[in-house]
Chains A and B, each alone.
Chain A
Amino acid sequence: MLLSDLRVGDKAEVTGLLADSSVRRRILDMGLVKGTRFKVLRVAPLGDPIEIFFKGVYLSLRKKEAAGVQVQKKGDVGDGMPIGSQRSRWRFGS
């Protein structure tokens, strides 16, 4: 599954990177390495880019770039809404 296939509120874990050279490097440097868990916070008002959250970082990326990140979904749909009580069950970056 790819990061770009996720919906708002999904939680997932990075399993690999498909993107190449500069895009891949940027994604790696921002901390989206294998094993990083994140949630999809929102989509921009016009439908692109998207915003994800992990380890205290709010990161936005275009869907084109997001399609270069392989992920595995974790938790239930809606688990990772931007603000909600679910959060205490499951902490990021731990």
Chain B
Amino acid sequence: MTALKEVKVALAGNPNCGKSSLFNALTGLHQKVGNFSGVTIEKHEGYVDYRDYRIRFVDLPGTYSLTAYSPEELVTRNYLIENSPDIVVNVLEGPNLERNLLLTTQLMEMEVDLLVALNMFDEVQAQGIEIDVKQLQCLLGCHIVPTSAKKKQGLDSLLDHVIRVYEKDIEVKKNKLAFRPELDRAIEQITELFSHEPELGKYNLRWLAIKLLENDKEVYNVVRQYPAWVKIELILQHAMRETEAVYKADPEIIITEDRHAFIRGAMQECMKLPRDKKQSPTDYIDLIVLNRALGLPIFLFVVWVIFHMTFTLGTPMMDGLDHLFGALADTVTSLLPNDTLRSVLVDGLIAGVGGVLIFLPNILLLFIGLSFLEASGYMARAAFVVDKVMHRFGLHGKSFIPMITGFGCSIPAIMATRTLKSRSDRLATIMVIPFMSCGAKLPVYVLLAGAFFRPAVAANVMFGIYMLGIVFGLFSALVMKKTVLKSESEPFVMELPPYRWPSLRSVLVQAKNKAMMYLKKAGTIILLAVLLIWTFSNYPKNPELDVELDRQIAVIEQTIVDEEQKAHAIVEAENKINTAQLEYSLAGRAGKLLEPVIKPLGFDWRIGIALVTGLAAKEVVVSTMGTIYSLGETDETSSELKTILKNDPAFDQATALSLMVFVLLYIPCVAAVGVMRKEIGEWKSVAFYGAYALSAAWIFSFITYRLAQLVV
């Protein structure tokens, strides 16, 4: 067999043009997801073997234009310049051709080897829209292939055309868009000056000239170091004066207007809309979904459904996985002797891997839901409905769903912020999420509120804690948007795409990709951290305590005859020794070290240990307290622990309230921190956030403790 010839193809197109569906239909499961270098924008790569060729596709981010204002657009055009793919396939949304062609004109300006996929052609036909493909080909100077990713039509034809363009069997004409004479003249002059600079070889010189007239900062930074810049600047100023005088607008506006004029001309020549155009289903659906009275209730219902799908459906699976790992741990325990290896395997590795995998069902379910909302067109509408409230706090309409998801678990919630396009909006949302009380904090609240308050009051206490989280989270967003994240504010100019029934395959592939990303990137950080915390709470060991335990067990064996009593006594002895070991370990020492710092909050060193180990996962606070109070395995319903806490002189209502506030606000669990690091892309912001959360936790707990002491 001869080696396959490699063809590099980039897919470019507007958001919602069906580009990703086409990518999925073309490459099937031969794909991987990564990031474009330096930014957290997803890069989907895949390939298909067709005839004697291996055609490699890169799915570029969906963009309307190729300016330097948004990271997506920068990534797209930099990719085209730096990686110079053999062919660029511009995917167009057939029924919405006019708006889609703006990007096409800009790709034409870059003079790439262009091929157009006229996607959703089945819908074009169904709506009775007539498109003169031949004529449009003449105008654009490149071949156009009608496709339908959903019905898998025209895919082979597209691949055929890709190969024919690659083999130079089809010529790409690279037509030049004409601008108004004043600008065309300036473009020509600047191009001529650039042609004396051999270093600009990788760029298309005419494109550089157009971008300069459009006042493009990136291009400006590239070219201003060349000696020709002095002359170019004069040409630019001249062009500016001319257009201002003649058209009363700057070149940037004129260029865009000319592109639109070309498109409008092309549309008039090549497209005929049906004479009596029917109202589209989108018009009717939005009449209800975006109705002034019904819009909000419908939105809240959708959020409720997503939330329940993720957690009501996901929790049993989560428990199942938990049991599975529990069983695995038990098996290993029974097979291996009681030594360090067993401890590493069972308490470190299995617990660690389990701690990573346990979130998978939630992540999968949430992303199936979110992908569906996104692909169907509802996500943009959800943002439209709640934007006003969120905007008050400096957030975006799209921040709402991730925030709500945070009540279940921060991890999928933080990953869900990817639907937000602006980095500052994403950062702000990510930092709000951990203040929403997640499912793992609930056991702590249940235990403490249950132990120290009457049932009726306990409910109010829990409600208060939840509210404190929400209020403080939104307040934090507002403060951050006004200070650290001030410079980058994103305009809200957003398309509401027509409703479409998403393909099941696309939705599932997206959810799968998210899950893989979580496992690969966040999973490693989480696993490491869990192992680290395990080491902290186990080492150094005090060998004398082990000897002591053996001695005590020997005594028990001899003195107690009744089997049941004997077992009970042994467990009790083991717990006592375990507590002593924990006290001796690094975590225990950290707890003691922390005591002076947390004393003002009403906490002693034992709570300190619980807070340290609670970094592994918040519910561990409860089980650690169980260990410290020598109870062995404990959960929040354990009445024994409740009684012990109640009778502990160091513990009262004020301490309980203070501890609840602290658990609500302090650093999120390592899994969440790992995902945060992954999504933000750098440690600095994560560290800043950790410091912020810790100081907030300390201050609020202090206030709570002192106030509660006065009142209670």
- Interface residue ranges, A against B (CB under 8 Å): 16-17, 21-31, 33-36, 41-49, 51, 55-62, 64-65, 82-83, 87-88, 91, 93
Which of A29, A61, A82, A93 contacts B256 (CB under 8 A)?
A: A29
Residue among A16, A25, A35, A91 making CB contact with B67, cutoff 8 Å? A25
Flag if A29 contacts B65 (CB, 8 Å). yes
- A57-B495 CB under 8 A given contacts A28-B253, A44-B384: yes
In angstroms, Cα B490 to Cα A64, docked, is 12
Complex Cα distance, B295 from A87, in Å, reads 25
In the bound complex, CA of A51 to CA of B249 (Å): 26
Chain B contact residue count (CB 8 A cutoff) = 48
- Complex Cα distance, B384 from A49, in Å, reads 7
Is B385 part of the binding interface, using a Cβ–Cβ cutoff of 8 Å? yes
Beta-carbon contact of A46 and B493 below 8 Å: no
Which one, A26, A49, A58, contacts B387 given CB within 8 A? A49
Within 8 A of A (CB), among B274-307: 276-277, 279, 282-284, 286-287, 290-293, 295-296
Contact A31:B260 (CB < 8 A) given known A56-B96, A62-B391: yes
**Is B102 an interface position by the 8 A CB rule?**
yes
Closest Cβ of chain B: how far from A75's Cβ, in Å? 18
**Interface members, chain B 492-531 (any A CB < 8 Å):** 492-498
Q: Do B493 and A44 touch (CB < 8 A)?
A: no
Complex partner residue of B493 from A27, A33, A43, CB under 8 angstroms: A27
Nearest residue (CB) in A for B290 is: A42
Is the pair A65, B492 in contact by a Cβ cutoff of 8 Å?
yes
Measured between beta carbons, the chain B residues less than 8 angstroms from A46 are: 296, 385-389
Rounded to whole angstroms, the CA-CA distance of A36 and B334 in the bound complex is: 76
| Bound Cα distance from A21 to B487, whole angstroms | 14
Q: Which residue of A lies closest to B297 (CB)?
A: A45
Is B256's CB under 8 angstroms from A59's CB? no
In whole angstroms, what is the CA distance A64 to B491 when docked? 9
Chain B nearest CB, measured from A68 CB (Å): 9
B279 touches A83 (CB 8 A): yes
Known pairs A16-B249, A30-B493, A47-B388; list 19 more (Cβ under 8 Å): A17-B253, A23-B493, A25-B65, A27-B493, A29-B64, A29-B102, A33-B256, A42-B290, A49-B492, A55-B98, A58-B286, A59-B493, A59-B495, A60-B384, A61-B492, A62-B391, A82-B286, A83-B283, A93-B264
- With both chains docked as a complex, state the minimum distance between the C-beta of B670 and any C-beta of chain A, in angstroms: 37
Asked whether A44 and B387 contact (CB < 8 A) given A26-B491, A51-B496, the answer is yes
Given contacts A22-B491, A33-B257, A43-B292, contact A48 B387 (CB under 8 A): yes
B95 within 8 A of A: yes
Residue B380 at the chain A interface, CB threshold 8 Å: yes
Q: Are A59 and B286 in contact (CB under 8 A)?
A: no
B69 within 8 A of A: yes
In the bound complex, how far is the Cα of B493 from the Cα of A57, in angstroms?
A: 12
Is B388 within 8 A of A44, CB to CB? yes
List 14 A–B pairs whose Cβ atoms lie within 8 Å, in order of A's numbering.
A21-B69, A25-B252, A30-B99, A31-B98, A31-B99, A33-B256, A43-B292, A44-B295, A45-B296, A48-B387, A56-B96, A57-B495, A59-B493, A82-B283
Q: Which of B67, B388, B497 is within 8 Å of A29, CB to CB?
A: B67
- Bound CA span A82–B498, Å: 14
Q: A44-B388, A45-B293 are in contact. Are A56 and B491 (CB under 8 A)?
A: no
Q: Which residues of A contact B95 (CB under 8 A)?
A: 56
Q: Given contacts A45-B293, A56-B99, is CB(A30)–CB(B492) below 8 Å?
A: no
Nearest CB of chain B from residue A61's CB, rounded to whole Å: 5
- Residue ranges of B at the interface with A (Cβ–Cβ < 8 Å): 64-65, 67, 69, 95-96, 98-99, 102, 249, 252-253, 256-257, 260, 264, 267, 273, 276-277, 279, 282-284, 286-287, 290-293, 295-296, 380, 384-389, 391, 491-498
Cβ of B709 to closest chain A Cβ, rounded Å: 42
**Contacting pair B496 A88 (CB below 8 A):** no
Query: With the chains together, A88 CA to B276 CA distance in Å?
Result: 7
* B292 and A26 form a contact (CB under 8 A): no
User: For B260, what are the chain A residues with a Cβ–Cβ distance below 8 Å?
Assistant: 31, 33, 36
B285 CB to closest chain A CB (Å) equals 11
Contact A58 B295 (CB under 8 A): no
A34's partner among B102, B257, B277, B492 (CB-CB below 8 A) is B257
CB distance from B269 to the nearest CB of A (A): 14
Name A44's contact: one of B69, B264, B290, B497 (CB within 8 Å). Answer: B290
B293: which A residues are within 8 A, CB to CB? 45
Residue of A nearest to B293 (CB): A45
Residue of A21, A43, A45, A49 most packed against chain B (CB within 10 A): A45
With a CB–CB cut-off of 8 A, which chain A residues contact B498? 58
A91: chain B residues at CB < 8 Å are: 273, 277
- Whether the Cβ atoms of A83 and B257 lie closer than 8 Å is no
Task: Considering the complex, give the chain B residue whose CB is closest to the CB of A54.
Answer: B99
Task: Evaluate contact between A65 and B256: CB separation under 8 angstroms.
Answer: no
By beta carbon, the residue of chain B nearest A31 is B99
Task: For A48, list chain B residues within 8 Å (CB).
Answer: 387-388, 391
| Known interface pairs A49-B387, A62-B391, A83-B283; A57-B99 also in contact (CB < 8 Å) | yes
* A59 neighbours in B (Cβ, 8 Å): 493-496
Which chain B residues border A30 with CB–CB below 8 Å?
Answer: 64, 99, 493, 495
Q: Please give, as numbers and ranges, the residues of chain B lying within 8 Å of A47 by CB-CB distance.
A: 388
Which residues of chain B have C-beta atoms less than 8 A from A49's C-beta? 384, 387-388, 492
Q: A28-B256, A48-B387, A49-B384 are in contact. Are A58 and B493 (CB under 8 A)?
A: no
CA distance A83 to B286 in the complex (A): 10
Complex Cα spacing A29 to B98, Å: 12
Report the bound CA distance from A41 to B292 in whole Å: 12
Nearest to A41 among chain B residues (CB) is B286
For B388, give the chain A residue with the smallest CB separation: A46
Taken together as a complex, chains A and B put the C-alpha atoms of A22 and B494 apart, in Å, by: 13
B67 surroundings in chain A (CB, below 8 A):
25, 29
B295 proximity list for chain A (CB < 8 A): 44-45
CB distance B492 to A62 under 8 Å?
A: yes
Q: Report A-chain residues with C-beta under 8 Å of the C-beta of B267.
A: 93
A59-B496, A60-B494 known; A45-B385 Cβ under 8 A: yes
**Closest approach, in angstroms, between the C-beta of B627 and any C-beta of chain A?**
49
| B384 to A: closest C-beta gap in Å | 5
B248 to chain A, nearest CB (A): 8
